[in-house]
A and B are shown apart, each in its own frame.
Chain A
Amino acid sequence: MLTLTCPIETRWHPVPAGAKLIGLAAATLLVVALRTPLAVSAGLVVAALVYLAEGVGFARHGLRMLRPLWPFVAVLAIWHGVTGALADGVVIGARMLTAVALANLVTMTTRLDDMIAVVERAAQPLARLGLAPRTLAVAIALMVRFTPVLFEKYGRLGDAWKARCARRANWRLVLPGLLVALDDADHVAEALRARGGL
């Protein structure tokens, strides 16, 4: 399955995932602490420059990753336009964009495998609470593997529906899709047990 990692190599790609996550946490705390319109705008400009330093293509990719935020930016603009507290709106909007952009930067420059490795290392103390590292690893691997599998099977259910009916399937596919997932889960459980269990 496609991940959100950006194929354009940047100077951030070789940095270890753990270091990037710690850096992101620090940067986010800093961004959230910004209060004045000037400081927040400066933060947004810095974030934009960090993206642009990796080239226009990368920056454009980063801008696409911010797309889900535009409706909220629009809501903020209208809201603060009506109430007249525009400076507050700028602070809130720019702070949100900066925080999300910085977080996206880590996601875009870190491979999924490296992220999973960090999580598995960080989760090791959980073994004492009964979550064995191997169990977590198996669960993550199963989820990553079966998302495209279920996606395809769901698509096939949709095709079968379209072949028989002109109306749209909408929610009527959810129950058969759910049954496919539950049956697959039973088969996987049997297969795991047959291979020595967890």
Chain B
Amino acid sequence: MERNVSHIALFAALIAVLGLVPKIDLMSGVPITAQTLGIMLAGTVLGARRGALAVLLFLLLAALGLPILSGGRGGLGAFMGPSVGFLVGFPVAAFIAGLIVERWRVSIGIAALAGSLIGGIVVLYAFGIPGMALILGKTLPEAALLATPFLPGDLLKAVLAALITRGVMVVRPAALMSRP
């Protein structure tokens, strides 16, 4: 019990840190933050339930007023803006990513890549695009078009999430709670 709570809380803090520090530069020069990398890792490292709870805790504190969403955003206003769909999709994305790693007993790198792609991209965009469509008053295909610039970065992050999850398995297998 204590271990669950402390891992959920510390991972929520890590997701916050990843949204603030390391700017990964895409080849196009568009800086992207590693926040969604943190969302994917929450699922692939902590597992479905703990991962989703860590993301929920992170979102709760962001809503309450900590400037921890990527780029230092936060507060209730972030949940009224065009990215609300992505925020709602974050915990589901982590849950699905974790579920795939837990249930699909192939090598950890492949399972984590599949989990990150399906959870962190397919599921996340399935929430994020309708959210953008709703707030910006666009049809779903139009909103999907507006979301495509983020796709290369998210594909890169899914690959990184798989590599990092495998790294955890190699150096600290006991810490990989998604594969007990």
Which A positions have Cβ atoms within 8 angstroms of B? 1-5, 24, 28, 65-66, 68-69, 72, 75-76, 79, 88, 91-92, 96, 99-104, 106-108, 110, 112, 115-116, 119, 135, 138-140, 142-144, 146-147, 149-151, 154-155, 158, 168-171, 173-175, 177-179, 181-186, 188-190, 192-193, 197-198
Contact B5 A178 (CB under 8 A): no
On whether A140 and B61 interact (CB within 8 A), knowing A107-B76, A179-B172, A181-B10, the answer reads yes
> Could you list 5 A-B pairs, sorted by A, with CB under 8 Å?
A28-B80, A92-B136, A143-B12, A154-B17, A171-B164
Taking CB atoms, residues of chain B closer than 8 Å to A186 are 3, 6, 175
User: Given that A72-B81, A189-B7 are known contacts, is A170 also in contact with B24, CB under 8 Å in the complex?
Assistant: yes
B168 beta carbon closer than 8 Å to chain A: yes
Q: Are A107 and B6 in contact (CB under 8 A)?
A: no
| Residue among B6, B17, B73, B160 making CB contact with A171, cutoff 8 Å | B160
Sort A-B residue pairs by CB-CB distance and give the 10 closest, nearest first: A107-B75, A142-B9, A103-B76, A104-B77, A185-B10, A92-B137, A188-B6, A115-B64, A103-B77, A192-B2
Binding site secondary structure of chain A: helix
Chain A hits for B73, CB < 8 A: 68
Contact call A189/B2, Cβ cutoff below 8 A: yes
**A139 x B9 contact (CB < 8 A):** yes
Interface size class of B (residues with CB under 8 A): 35 or more
Q: Chain B residue with minimal CB distance to A106?
A: B76
| Per-residue contact bits, chain B 2-35, to A (CB 8 Å; 1 contact, 0 not) | 1101111111111011101110110000000010
Residue of A nearest to B176 (CB): A182
- Report if B71 contacts A (CB, 8 A): yes
A49: min CB distance to chain B, Å: 18
> Across the interface, which residues of B come within 8 angstroms of A79, CB to CB?
138
Q: Total contacts A to B, CB within 8 angstroms? A: 197
Rounded to whole Å, the gap between the CB of A13 and the closest CB of chain B is 13
- Closest Cβ of chain B to A7, distance in Å, is 13
Q: Does B65 contact A (CB under 8 A)?
A: yes
CB-defined contacts of B10 to chain A, threshold 8 Å:
142-143, 146, 150, 181-182, 184-185, 188
CB-defined contacts of B79 to chain A, threshold 8 Å: 103
Kindly list chain B residues whose C-beta atoms are within 8 Å of the C-beta of A91. 137
What is the chain A residue whose CB lies nearest that of B4?
A: A189
With CB as the reference atom, state the residue of chain B lying closest to A66.
B77
CB distance from A80 to the nearest CB of B (A): 9
CB pair B66 A1 closer than 8 Å: yes
Could you tell me if A5 and B65 are in contact, using CB atoms closer than 8 angstroms? yes
Chain A residues positioned under 8 Å from B171 (CB to CB): 175, 179
Q: Which residues of chain A are within 8 angstroms of B60 by Cβ–Cβ distance?
A: 119, 140
- Closest A residue to B81 by CB, please name it: A100
B contact residues around A158 at 8 Å (CB):
21-22
Q: Are A155 and B21 in contact (CB under 8 A)?
A: yes
Chain A residues lying within 8 Å of B136, measured Cβ to Cβ, are 72, 75-76, 92, 96
State whether A189 and B6 are in contact (beta carbons under 8 Å apart), knowing that A107-B77, A143-B13 are contacts in the complex: yes
CB distance from B56 to the nearest CB of A (A): 10
Q: Tell me the bound Cα distance from A188 to B13 in angstroms.
A: 13
